Amino acid sequence: MEAKSIVIGVEGMTCDSCVQTIEQHVGKMNGIHNIKVSLEDKNAVIIYDSKLQTPATLQEAIYDMGFDATLADSNQQPVLPDTIFVTIPTQSALTSKQICNTLLKNKGILDVKMSSDQKTAVVTFISSIINGKQIIQMVPGVDLNISAPEVTPGTCEDSSWSQASSVVLRLKVEGMTCHSCTSTIEGRIGKLQGIQRIKVSLDNQEAVVVYQPHLITAEEIKHQIEAAGFTASFKKQPRPLKLSAIDLERLRNPQTKGSETALKEISNVNDTKTIVFRIDGMRCSSCVLNIQSTISALPSVTSIVVSLEKKSVIINYNPNLISIDILRKAIEAVSPETFKVSLPDEYENVAFFSMLASPLKSSHPALTDASQPLTQVVVINIEGMTCNSCVQSIEGVISQKAGVKSIHVSLSNRNGTIEYDPLQTSPEDLRSSIEDMGFDAFLSAKAERSVAIAQPSHEVQLESHKTEPPSKVSPAYLARQETKTISKCYVQVTGMTCASCVANIERNLRREDGIHSILVALMAGKAEVRYNPAVIHPSAIAELIRELGFGATVMESCGEGDGILELVVRGMTCASCVHKIESTLMKTNGVLYCSVALATNKAHIKFDPEIIGPRDVIQVIQNLGFATSLVKKDRSASHLDHKQEIRQWKRSFVVSLIFCIPVMGLMIYMMVMDSQLADAHAHHNMSSEEMEALHSSMVLEYQLLPGLSVMNFLSFLLCVPVQVFGGWHFYIQAYKALKHKTANMDVLIVLATTIAFAYSFVILLVAMAEKAKVNPVTFFDTPPMLFVFISLGRWLEHVAKGKTSEALARLISLQATEATIVTLGPDNVLLSEEQVDVELVQRGDIVKVIPGGKFPVDGRVIEGHSMVDESLITGEAMPVTKKPGHTVIAGSINQNGSLLISATHVGADTTLSQIVKLVEEAQTSKAPIQQFADKLSGYFVPSIVAVSVVTLFAWIIIGFVDFEIVEKYFLGYNKSISAAEVIIRFAFQASITVLCIACPCSLGLATPTAVMVGTGVGAQNGILIKGGEPLEMAHKVKVVVFDKTGTITHGTPEVMQVKFLVEGNQLPHHKMLAILGTAESNSEHPLGVAITKYCKKELDSETLGTCTDFQVVPGCGISCKVTNIEALLYRKDKMVEENNIKNVTLVKIEENTDESMQPALIIDADLPTTLTSQKYSVLIGNREWMSRNGLLVTSEVDKAMMEHERRGRTAVLAAVDGVLCGLIAIADTVKPEAELAVHTLKTMGLEVVLMTGDNSKTARSIASQVGITKVFAEVLPSHKVAKVKQLQDEGKRVAMVGDGINDSPALAMANVGIAIGTGTDVAIEAADVVLIKDDLMDVVASIDLSRKTVKRIRINFVFALIYNLIGVPIAAGVFLPIGLVLQPWMGSAAMAASSVSVVLSSLLLKMYQKPSAEKLEFRARGQMRHKSPSEISVHVGIDETGTGSPKLSLMDRIINYSRASINSLFSDKRSVNSIVLNEPDKHSLLVGDLGEDDDTAL
């Protein structure tokens, strides 16, 4: 027999009598132990016997009573029972069988077993429903089992002693991976006879079991865990619980073993004492009652008051009979034995010292047994904490560890005080746990002090307590503890998709103990929780959210942003002004911290935005007589426009150029002179003597010192500043790179320039030392020219990069800087208005936005009508109408009317801020192709250095082996230079050129620049792409899966057609509409809402008549009485008359004038008297509902209904006063652009699939309208994931398009999830691509943009690599034989060109235009057509088998297909193919009724 608990959601309860009705009705059912119905939470919690009842039968029972019942959480929780032993007296009037039957009749008692000697009964019961005391009262004469023989407790030798006591067993369980494993073990072991409690911890991989050893053995428990598939081993040998049922009984009846004298002594002593305990673990009022009933039964206790709110218990007791410690243990032993009882601080010290003062003389050896654990306290010094969040995270993690009783971490003292059980953990363990969290922790010298919690002697009086009655101190002390600290934490929540997720989290967390308030922001994916740190930790809050099925992590550094204010304060003169401001602010409620600096005139204030707003803080300072203003934040996107880098590289370029021009001049002059000389002496090579003579005759070759020419000296002077100032940045960057053992571009540049400079400098020194007559040839011209081209390239690159993030900068610039806040009086009268900074707007402020103004924050319109331009945020070109109740987005522009809005999201929570943040993150995220490029760059630099070194040695070797090659191809060779110098110079030139030309920069720029421009362009068009990966993945997509409801269709049913079945003279059409609209106005069903909306629109009225006796029969329809529609019809008639009169006046037709004017005038004259209210009886529903109410549905009407149903519509009949008068066809309409979007995707070569939870008939109809041929119908939300996976397993890349409400798991599973939303309702978490505008053409645009971007990335890679692939071999001299040779400066020019060309190529993406619907429509003209049903293959549910047609022979199938094709041409006939499945539409009222099947069968 197993008890389980389940929660059933109950809708339709209106008052307490509904609650009582349900409780009485269900409570009487067989197998129901307990039921608690809550009107507020709209649910019923039922504890029942799983053998006699199931969740479905309970749901049905509530349903039959006329309420809607839903299984809130279908997983039933096992209820852990308690067990007591009842002794049956020998002289009992009842037999053991009668006792069993009497007990089993009571609610809450699960099982009664008799011992073999028929003297003891073991009763298994649910402690939350019934307790031991009540059980004993049920059967006269029985008593709790106190028959243990009078041996000294603690010896544990006697079997009866161990029989009544429970034993704790700790097992190590290996192989658990998730919470379902823990539930499996708890469920399996909890069912076993003799198991009282079991708790399995996944984190500690252990199970703690409390069991009764006479009913089950430890080995058996271990065996059962192993049978469940886990490995179990004993951590500690089983040990008895401290206080068994016998102890409690002995406390209740001290006379059982006590002499008369003892009793006399007790009766003489009448002085009592009061003690206050703190109790953790109480959940509800039943815990309070349990503790009160159990403890008040003790003879030594005179009174007891338990407070659930204060978590305290105040006990008046006789210290001669009982000690504080036994009281504490008695409370802890109360079922369900999960209470933690502790003394407030002042008592603990007293108990501790009094215990040391006297030797322990205990009358209970068992309680002072050596095996009893002492609690020890250790102080651990912790370094590295920076703020309160560090403190909270340490306390949160360590408090979860096994054996830790309490922990207090002090930020100011940099230490943590931990109370722990030495049998379960040690100081060293605790220290290493703190270190694992990233802090430095070490044990202090006074590491441990044992706090013995053994029982103080009975004789010890707590002297210090006599001075002040503790009863006065303690409750106040506890209350102070409670209210002293309310902390706030922020939790990052992932997996929320819509407003219902937000409501779910907020609703569930508000119920939790210790949580004061919670606010969840959907767009930011963040929850702000105010909690009591004494009760709950942030990590536990995150765990609670995770249990609801969302991802949750505690945000460390968050929450400061909205409560920090930086102000400039003018008018302070001295330190007393500072003190005055600080002291006044600190006294202000809600200000947490304040620091004012006189020197800078600035104030830094931290405040709690829940209590006080930034404007209030400013007002406080202004009231003191100082002028204040906000420190202006840089709202522009200055970090995006690369201004600083552009300035830096421009400066670098100019410096290098100034020194480079003279060097280039000298070089050109020397080249010209050299060529003239070569011409003059073309016929014979010069000897060294002739060379010397020539050198001395040339101005630049004139030697200032032996070996030092004017030319070399000038080159050296011009080269040094460039090398130092121009190359400064490169040297720093190269040093940093090498320090981290990486090599980047800067390393190559530094290598090339330094080698050239150092080589030239050394050669010059050698020449001067040798006093050479012929001047050596140097490379001093190389560094300046290299730096010029590199800095030019970097400068142009940054200019271009600034352009790539223009889109984001434009988004940021949309933010308004000021807001007009107004104060409203009664009836929305404007009292005052003031201009404030946008940072000072608080939630709930009323903001006025004038025509042409920007909306400063997100909000809801409360007054005014206007058109709003949201084009920069949603990409929607047409202005959007805004009326009261509509939401507005920050950054959009108000066009023609003035609006008053109530601020809902301010600061960083506005939609615009979220979009900016998303785009920023997207632009910094890496595409997979980018990671490949980065990897390539990592290997690139070392390999180029290697190629350069190989080139150097290769040419030196070639030169010495075969000098003629060098002599032939080396420009400016003459005999005056030694061969060795020529070879070395040539080899150096080639290797330096290799270093110069190889540039990995362009490789690194190829992807990010394109991704940046792509995401920016997307954001401008209302397509938010979350980074490089989805952008790159979207072009690989082969299948696009559309969700139906809310994606292909609008998601709300609309009336498509109303067919009037009676003549207009019997029941005027507008009268019928008024009656039907009024009748459905009370209905919450989507179809009812659609009818009311349609009627209001047709009658052009916001109000309708009165509806009474409203009854709903689910799956059939409604019935009600309608009155008061005459006034409505009179207004309608009046409008018609007026229009008629106007028309009559225009067209002079005399005959009709009298007819039309007369009635209007008569009615107008005496409206109050002539309008008598008539009552109409109305029925609206399906065929069955009409036949139930005795109305005949003619075959003609039935045929019309069938035709509508074939088209996927829901047909509803209406009857007034017993006459069938109307047929209403309702359907969820297809979005106008859906067909074009599907056609375009198909022309792009993609397979399009429709997936829906709807029935196959509706799905087929929708698919035929939009041109989709493959449909998965009746797929549950949970199965959508499996369907997507199935498509992926076929090797296809899948894009899933949904509205992010019920299909977020499928969006996450797909290769690219595309969430289609409407502005602020978009749940950014749900998908990779978010379409802000509710337009399916944006799906086409997002895939098109992805394809264009990836194409651009590939072109960029070509640009990046072409220079290197062609340039490096040329530079290395591979093409010397065909006369191709490069100078180092040419290499650096090529290198700069590659980077610039890559960025310019990316910028071309800015020209991207979204494919316009008009163009695509023109192109698709004549190609789009509705599909016939035979062309559509429908797959039902999760299986793959198509239900294209029934299983027929080939011939029959051909006939059916041809017939279906013919039928599709004549829309009045039904298609054979559409009858395959005729489940009702999900919006249909015909839920599960058989009538329809009969009606629609052939």
Catalytic residues: 1043
Neighbours of 671 (CB within 10 A): 12
Count of CA atoms in the C-beta half-sphere (13 A) of 1406: 17
Strands (E) located in 422-556: 440-451, 487-494, 515-521, 526-531, 551-555
Q: In what order do the strands lie in the sheet with 515-521?
A: 515-521, 526-531, 487-494, 551-555
Give dist(CA 206, CA 1345) in Å, integer: 53
The secondary element (H helix, E strand) that includes residue 1111 is strand 1106-1113
Which residue do the tokens 């859906």 mark? 1234
Helices then strands, counting H and E runs in the chain, come out as 49, 54
Hey, what are 290's tokens? Answer: 């349990």
Q: How far is CA 378 from CA 391, 406, 411, 534, 1111, in A?
A: 17, 11, 17, 20, 68
Give dist(CA 1119, CA 1113) in Å, integer: 9
Give dist(CA 933, CA 1356) in Å, integer: 11
Give dist(CA 840, CA 819) in Å, integer: 9
- SS3 labels along 64-133: HCCCEEEECCCCCEECCCEEEEEECCCCCCCCHHHHHHHHHCCCCEEEEEECCCCCEEEEEECCCCCCHH
Q: How far is CA 1404 from CA 953, 1015, 1349, 1351, 1399, in A?
A: 44, 14, 10, 12, 9
Give dist(CA 566, CA 837) in Å, integer: 13
Hey, what are 99's tokens? Answer: 């006792």
Hey, what are 931's tokens? Answer: 């990671």
Neighbours of 1401 (CB within 10 A): 22
Give dist(CA 296, CA 251) in Å, integer: 11
Give dist(CA 47, CA 1066) in Å, integer: 57
Question: How many residues appear in the chain?
Answer: 1498
Hey, what are 987's tokens? Answer: 């080899």
Give dist(CA 1281, CA 1294) in Å, integer: 11
Strands 375-383 and 440-451: antiparallel
Inter-helix orientation angle 1126-1146/1069-1080, to 10°: 140
Which residues, at least 6 apart from 165, have a Cβ–Cβ distance to it below 8 Å?
240, 241, 244, 245, 246
Hey, what are 1096's tokens? Answer: 């209001």
Give dist(CA 1012, CA 804) in Å, integer: 6
Give dist(CA 1222, CA 1212) in Å, integer: 8
CB-CB contact of 1236 with 1424 (8 Å): yes
Q: Exposed, middle or buried: residue 149 (CB in 10 Å: 0-12, 13-18, 19+)?
A: exposed
- Single-letter amino acid code for the residue at 235: K
Which residue do the tokens 């590289």 mark? 649
Which residues, at least 6 apart from 848, have a Cβ–Cβ distance to it below 8 Å?
820, 821, 822, 833, 898, 899, 900
Strands (E) located in 880-989: 880-882, 887-888, 893-894, 899-905
Q: Which residues sit opposite 830 in a β-bridge?
A: 824
DSSP structural state of residue 677: H
Which residue do the tokens 């001049």 mark? 665
